[in-house]
Structures are given as C-alpha cells and as structure tokens.
Amino acid sequence: MTTLLIHRARCIATQDDANTELHDASLLIREGRIERIIPASENIDDLRTQVEEVIDARHHVVVPGLINTHHHMYQSLTRAIPSVQNAELFSWLKGLYPIWVGLTPEMVRVSGQVAMAELLLSGCTTSSDHLYIYPNGVRLDDSIEAAHSIGMRFTATRGSMSVGQSQGGLPPDRVVEQEPAILKETQRLIETWHDASFGSMTHVAVAPCSPFSVSQDLMREAAKLARAHGVRLHTHLAENDHDIAYTKEKFNCTPAQYAEDLGWVGHDVWHAHGVKLDEEGTYLFARTRTGIAHCPCSNMRLSSGILPLRKMLDAGVPIGLGVDGSASNDAAHLLNEARQAMLLARVGRALEPFGCDHGPADMTPRDALRLATRGGAQVLGREHELGQIKEGYCADIAMFRTDRLSMAGGAVHDPVGALLLCASDNADYTIVNGRVVVRQGQITTVDMGPLVERHNQLAMQLALGAK
C-alpha cells in the first residue's frame, strides 16, 4: 500500500476534540493509517525522499473525509423526472414506485458507481446506502460490489418493504417481499459481507424501510437479528406531516413512541430525517443516544420541513448528514449538504417564535463541518476510526484547493470558513484508506466517460419501461 506524504498544507482542520487547525503542517500516511501529523517546525526534507508519493498541499485546506449517513443510490437513475418534480414525499413515492420496479442488477451497480463517484468528488470517503427495493434479481451484493470497484468505504443497509397497498401500506403490492425471505436474506448478507474489524471497508446494517411500508413484526424481528449479529439498525422516521398522520392512524402513537415500542432506539440505531420528532421524541433520542441522518436538501426539495438542528444538538442527539436519494435531492455533494445544513439551521432559528435568543452563530461553518465528519462517524458507529485527522485513525482525507475562483477573496481570510461559506467546489484530492481515488479533481478508479454514458442509457431504459 502506498506511503503518502501530504506536504505543508495551507491548513489542516483536524476535527479533534480541541478543534485544532494547523498551518504548514504535513501528514504521513502508511498502510491506510495516519501515521504522523508533522508540525511546520519540523524539517521533513529527508522524509520526502523516503515515501512513494508526495502531494504538495500549499494551496489546500485538508479535512477528514466527509461521511454520508443516508442515501438511495439507485435513485440517480430517476433524477429530475418531470412527473414528480413538484411532489411531496408520499405522492413522489407513488409516482416513482412504478418506475423503480424495472430496476435490474446492472442498473443498481452502475447507478451505485455514479452516485459514489459524485460523493467522492465532493470529498466524501464513507457512505451508507439504503436499498429497499429488489425486483428482477437485484441484490444488495450489487451495491457492495460497486463500492469495492470504485474504492469507497461503505455501509450497505439491507432495506425492505413488506406491507403493500392491499394491506394498507403505501407501496404497490408488486414491490414488496415476504418477511421470512427478508430476514433470511439479511442474515446471509451480514454473514457474507459485514467486517467488524478496525478500518473495515464494508459494514452491513439492517434497514426495514419505513412505518408505511413494513409491519411492526418485521421491525421487531429485524432489531433482534441486528443485535444478535452486532450490526446497526436504520430506517426512515418522522419525515413529514403525512408520515406523522400515518403513524397516528395505523399505530395510535407518535413516531418516537413507535420506535421505542419496537426496540428501535439506542446507540446502535440511526433514523433518516426525524424532521417532525416532537419534544418528547427529541429527548428520548438524546437519552438513548439514537442517531439522526439529517438530509436538509431533500427535506427542502420535498417540502418536508426544517429539522430543529441546534435544539437537537444541544439536547445531545447524535446527528450526521445525508444527501438522501439522488431523486429527492438531485445531487449528492456532501460538502454542499453541510453548507445547506448550516444555512437552513439559521433560517429555522429565525422562524422560531419572536423573542428567542438566537442568531447566525447558532450554526457556524465549523459546526457544519463537524456534522459532516465527526457527526457522521458517530452515527455510523465509527467514531474511533473515522471523522478526525488523528494519528492511528484511518487515512480518509479530503483536500480542497484554496486558490480557485470559488474561494477567491475568502480563503485568504479563513480557509476553513470559506469551505462552507463560499461555493461548494469539488475536492482536488480524495483519499480513502490511504488510496488516492480522486486526483486533481478526477476519479482514478473508473473511466467516468463510458460509465456516465451507460448510466444515461439505463436511466432512459428504466423510465421508458414504466410507460
């Protein structure tokens, strides 16, 4: 494995407990780990000749690799579909289920690579993915193989839907599965792919889709299965008002009560969205260390609402960021997601009742960067491996140029602040497990031209097949 020296960085934002930011410091990477953080005062001329590669970082701000805690990568095939451009969550899903039923294994692999390439270019080094629809021989293995081929650290969540329209659920009956088969397949995936070792490239999590598409029995049994194998649990919860109303009508409880009753709270659980959690639910999540994947762009795109981010963080809820499905966000740029989280939190505070003591400082650029790094590591249960530039941690690094148009006039004052306040540029280098997977703004692990061409062909094939 390459020995790599990141030489004399303009700024290294370590995201350690003290929020240390180093100038003209260097990083020595060996065997997929951060071996040394070398201060500016140390002469490293001899070291430069001993490593296999040196990256000149004089014009870069260097941060821990960003971490995406919620995605539906196959949805990159259905971005900007005209019929659902102006729909809220439930009508958006109803419009897309008939299209997604045409998914094939190749579509899942190709769309996964496209989605991961987009994330890697944004400085994201670790991503989860929630695949919950399995027609035509599709398996979660298809997504995992895509991650291996492109070089992304991956948490593959085995989603599922088991309650169709005939049983009062939202999805059509033809896209749901039988619950015994779901549990059996989930166990196979854990036993085949989950690697719990330090620095693992692949985790598997258990992820029934949502209250409106699975039974309470499946939720309970899925939680038992996950805990018997020591893996994490993931689902959607409290995404918008219709979601709240469904839970109230079908189960006569709030989303937080639903989660607690079914065993879906705890340090090994994270829920997507949580926009409409009530105060009781917020403090339940804080007390039990139940995580949330905050997806601000998707929440705005589908008009779901504004997560009370500062209130939840202050209460102690673990929160990371998620780009969500590429068809509900229409992009997968995690740095931009952090920027949007910061801006939306400021707007959300301004909309609170008159007289509240709040302001822009409630969500700073560095707060947003922390959500995208350490917050994501905590939510995915990897806070002792990822999310910081720290000796012994995994060498997952994102490097952004400070001498480009996007940061002109900003980086000269504050390169870390400019990363979140100025336009969200792509990473110049992205390093995963010590391997350079984005070099000078280009993906190194796949040929993007043919990949994008094939992806567009499959996107048209999928859309036309539903007509």
Q: What is the pLDDT of residues 279-309, one digit of tens each?
A: 999 999 999 999 999 999 999 999 999 999 9
Res. 45 pLDDT band, cuts 50 70 90: confident
According to the model, what pLDDT value does residue 357 have?
Answer: 57
Do 47 and 73 fall into the same domain? no
Kindly state whether residue 465 falls inside one of the protein's structural domains: no
- Indicate if the pLDDT at residue 342 is higher than 90: yes
Segment 198-206 mean pLDDT: 98
- Mean pLDDT for all residues in the chain: 96
Kindly state whether residue 155 falls inside one of the protein's structural domains: yes
Do 431 and 317 fall into the same domain? no
Segment 64-92 mean pLDDT: 97
According to the model, what pLDDT value does residue 351 have?
Answer: 67
What residue type is 200 in one-letter code?
Answer: S
Query: How many structural domains does the chain have?
Result: 2
pLDDT in tens, 217-256: 999 999 999 999 999 999 999 999 999 999 999 999 999 9
| Torsion angles phi and psi, residue 257, rounded to 5 | -65, -40
The set of residues, in sequence order, having a beta carbon less than 8 Å from that of 376 and lying 6+ positions away, is: 66, 67, 68, 69, 126, 320, 321, 386, 387
What is the rounded CA–CA span in Å between residue 166 and residue 113?
35
What is the rounded CA–CA span in Å between residue 332 and residue 226?
28
- Indicate if the pLDDT at residue 1 is higher than 60: no
What angle in degrees, to the nearest 10, is found between the helix axes of 448-465 and 89-100?
100
**Cβ neighbour number for residue 466 with a 10 Å cutoff:** 15
pLDDT in tens, 388-426: 999 999 999 999 999 999 999 999 999 999 999 999 999
Do 91 and 196 fall into the same domain? yes
Q: Which of 336, 352, 379 is at the close of a domain?
A: 379
Cα atoms in the Cβ-side hemisphere of radius 13 Å centred on 20: 12
CATH number at residue 17: 2.30.40.10
Cα atoms in the Cβ-side hemisphere of radius 13 Å centred on 458: 23
What is the rounded CA–CA span in Å between residue 116 and residue 125?
9
Q: Which domain covers residue 302, as residue numbers?
A: 66-379
Do 58 and 73 fall into the same domain? no
Do 122 and 171 fall into the same domain? yes
- Indicate if the pLDDT at residue 356 is higher than 60: no
What is the rounded CA–CA span in Å between residue 88 and residue 298?
10
Segment 43-67 mean pLDDT: 95
Do 36 and 80 fall into the same domain? no
- Indicate if the pLDDT at residue 467 is higher than 70: no
Do 117 and 136 fall into the same domain? yes
What is the rounded CA–CA span in Å between residue 185 and residue 107?
20
Segment 380-391 mean pLDDT: 98
Q: Of 390, 391, 399, whose CA–CA distance to 437 is shortest? A: 399
Kindly state whether residue 450 falls inside one of the protein's structural domains: no
- Indicate if the pLDDT at residue 374 is higher than 70: yes
Do 84 and 199 fall into the same domain? yes
Kindly state whether residue 233 falls inside one of the protein's structural domains: yes
According to the model, what pLDDT value does residue 464 have?
Answer: 94
pTM above 0.85, yes or no: yes
- Rounded (to 5) percent helix, strand, coil in the chain: 40, 20, 40
Segment 24-41 mean pLDDT: 97
- Indicate if the pLDDT at residue 354 is higher than 90: no
Kindly state whether residue 466 falls inside one of the protein's structural domains: no
Do 52 and 104 fall into the same domain? no
SS3 sequence of 178-230? CHHHHHHHHHHHHHHHCCCCCCCCEEEEEEECCCCCCCHHHHHHHHHHHHHHC
Do 319 and 175 fall into the same domain? yes
- Indicate if the pLDDT at residue 317 is higher than 60: yes
Res. 2 pLDDT band, cuts 50 70 90: confident
Residues paired with 5 in a beta bridge = 28, 54
CB 33 within 8 A of CB 396: no
Kindly state whether residue 459 falls inside one of the protein's structural domains: no
According to the model, what pLDDT value does residue 355 have?
Answer: 47
- Indicate if the pLDDT at residue 263 is higher than 90: yes
Kindly state whether residue 454 falls inside one of the protein's structural domains: no
CATH number at residue 86: 3.20.20.140
pLDDT in tens, 92-151: 999 999 999 999 999 999 999 999 999 999 999 999 999 999 999 999 999 999 999 999
Segment 315-338 mean pLDDT: 96
Kindly state whether residue 455 falls inside one of the protein's structural domains: no
- Give every strand in the sheet of 53-56, ordered side by side: 33-38, 26-30, 4-7, 53-56
Do 52 and 84 fall into the same domain? no
Segment 23-36 mean pLDDT: 98
Do 356 and 407 fall into the same domain? no
